[in-house]
Amino acid sequence: MTIDWFFILEKIVLISGVLAISLVVAMYSTWGERKVAGIIQDRIGPNRAGFMGLLQPLADGGKLFFKEEIIPGNSNRFLFILGPSLAMIVACMTSAVIPWGDTLTIAGHTVSLQIADVNIGILYIFGVVSLGVYGIMLGGWASNNKYSLLASIRAASQIISYELAMGLSLIALLMMTGTLSLKEIVEQQRHDGWNVLYQPLGFLIFLVCSFAECNRTPFDLAEAESELNGGYHLEYSSMKLGFYLFAEYINMFISSALMSSLYFGGYSFPGMDSLGLAPNLVTILGTAALFIKIICFLFFFMWVRWTIPRFRYDQLMRLGWNIMIPLALANMLITGAIVLYRSTH
C-alpha cells in the first residue's frame, strides 16, 4: 500500500489553516465587539494599543497568560481543568465539516477546501454541539460554588431546550435539500438560489437558536452578573477563564459560518459561474464571499448584544418551548407538504 503523502500534507495544512483562522477571527471578534459596542454607545472603543487599538487582543491574551492561576481548594482539580479544555476542543471541532471553499487545482492535484466531506455532516455538527454543554456543566460543578452550579445548570437546560427547535428547523431544510452533506447543500444553492428564500421561517428559528446555543445576549442567562455574580466561570482565572471566553467567540464564528453555508449560499455568490475567470481565482473569490457573509453575521451577533436586554429565565424557557418548537414543527409540516406536492405533480 502506498501512502498518498500529498493527501496527508494537504489535510495537515488545511486543518492547521482552519484552526489558525478560527483563532485569529475569534481574537479579532473581541476587538470587533468592543469597537461595535463603542460605536453603538457613542464611545470610541479601544484605541490605545496599536493603530485603532488593533493590538488590543494581543495585549489581552498576554495579560490572561501572565495572570495568577488559582484553583479553588475545595474544587475537583481534574474536572476543574477539564471544563475549559472541553469547551475549547468542542468549539474547534465543528469547523471540520464546513466547506470553506470550492476546489483548488495545485500542480495537477485537486484540493478541496473542506477538511472532511462526510455524508452525515449536519448530524456531526449536532453531535458536537450536543457535547458543548459538558464543558460548561463540568466547569460549573467542579468549582464547588453555588453560583457557578446554578449558572451551569441554567446554561445546560437552555442549550438542551434550544437544540430541539434548532434540530426541527434543520429537518425542514434537509427535507428540501435531500442531503446531509454541507458541501452538497452549498452546491445546490449555487444553482438554485439561497435557501433562505425557501426557508425564511426555518432560518429565523435557526438564528434565534444559534444565539441561545452560543450563550449570547439576549440569552446569556448563564452569565447574568446581576443575579449570579458572574456565571459558570466565576471561580476561573488566568487562561482557563480565557478559554471559556474564547470558546464563545469561536462558537460565534462557527455558527456564522454554518448559517452562511446552510442558508446564504456558503462560498457561492451570484454570478459566480458567468465571470469567465480561472477556476482557482473563482474559488478564492468564493472563499472571500463566505468570509464577508461570516463577518456580516458576526456583526449582527454584536449588534444584537448591545441593543437588546437580557430575557428573564421563565421568558427564555417559554420562548423556547412554547413558541420556537411549535413554530419549527409547523415549518416542518408545511415544508413536508410542499415537498410531497412537488414530487407528485
Partner 1 sequence: MGMSLQQIVFGVLSIISIISALGVILSKNPVTSVLCLIVTFFTIAGHYIMLNAQFLAVVHIIVYAGAIMVLFLFVIMLMNLNAEIEPQKRNWLKYAGAISGGALLLVLLGALREADVTPLQPGSTDIGLISNLGKTLFSQYVVPFEVSSILFLSAMVGAVVIGKREA
Cα separation, 172 vs 331, whole angstroms:
7
For residues 23 and 164, which CB has a smaller minimum distance to partner 1 in the complex? 164
Nearer to partner 1, 19 or 116 (CB): 116
Q: How far is the CB of 144 from partner 1 (least distance, A)?
A: 10
Q: Nearest approach, Cβ of 164 to partner 1 (angstroms)?
A: 10
CB of 131 to partner 1, least distance (A): 6
Host H or E run for residue 154:
helix 146-177
Sole residue written with cell 492547521: 16
Q: Whole-number minimum distance, CB 99 to partner 1, in Å?
A: 18
> Of the two residues 80 and 249, which places its CB atom closer to partner 1 in the complex?
80
Q: 59 vs 339, which CB is nearer to partner 1? A: 339
Our CB check for partner 1 shows the closer of 153 and 295 to be 153
- Compute the distance between CA of residue 329 and CA of residue 345 in angstroms, rounded to an integer: 24
> 10 Å Cβ neighbour count for 294?
22
HSE, side-chain direction, 13 A CA sphere, residue 330: 9
Q: Which residues bind partner 1 (CB under 8 A)?
A: 76, 79, 118-120, 123-124, 126-127, 129-131, 133-134, 137-138, 141, 149, 152-153, 156-157, 160, 180
CA-based torsion, 256, 258, 262, 264: positive or negative: positive
CB of 212 to partner 1, least distance (A): 15
In order, the DSSP letters of 119-136 are TTHHHHHHHHHHHHHHHH
Rounded Cα gap, residues 166 and 259, in angstroms: 12
